[in-house]
Amino acid sequence: MIFTTQHDKGIAVVLPGTDRLTAVNATAFKAEVSALVDAGSDRLIIDFEEVSFLDSSGLGALIGILKKVGSRGEIAVCSLSDSVAQMFRLTRMDRVFTTYPNADVAVKTMGHDL
């Protein structure tokens, strides 16, 4: 389901591979990204470019991944559509996750943060 692009400095860009991250697929998404973390990727950028809808189950999956990464890494999100950005604001997740306009900016910024 997910598509991953590896970059320098251990940064992985993850595309959820769906246009809706909901209760239907959030568990599978979390499992796939968790496997990526278990394999050593702990600096993740979740690219929502193709995601037009996110529900509480999708947010729960993101929180679960954030807990799995813990303090050894970081997770950022990028390319949020208006409706996905609104969900982040309503739930105050915009205060938890750093948001970037697109994956290129996120990779460049996170790469310089080391």
Per-domain boundaries in the chain: 3-106
For 41-96, write each residue's pLDDT tens digit. Answer: 989 999 999 999 999 999 999 999 999 999 999 999 999 999 999 999 999 999 99
Fold observed for domain 3-106: Transcription Regulator spoIIAA (3.30.750)
Q: Are strands 3-6 and 43-47 parallel, antiparallel or unpaired?
A: unpaired
pTM (two decimals): 0.93
Report how far residue 33's alpha carbon sits from residue 114's, in angstroms, rounded to the nearest whole number.
22
> Residue range 93-110: average pLDDT?
96
- Mean pLDDT of all residues in the chain? 94
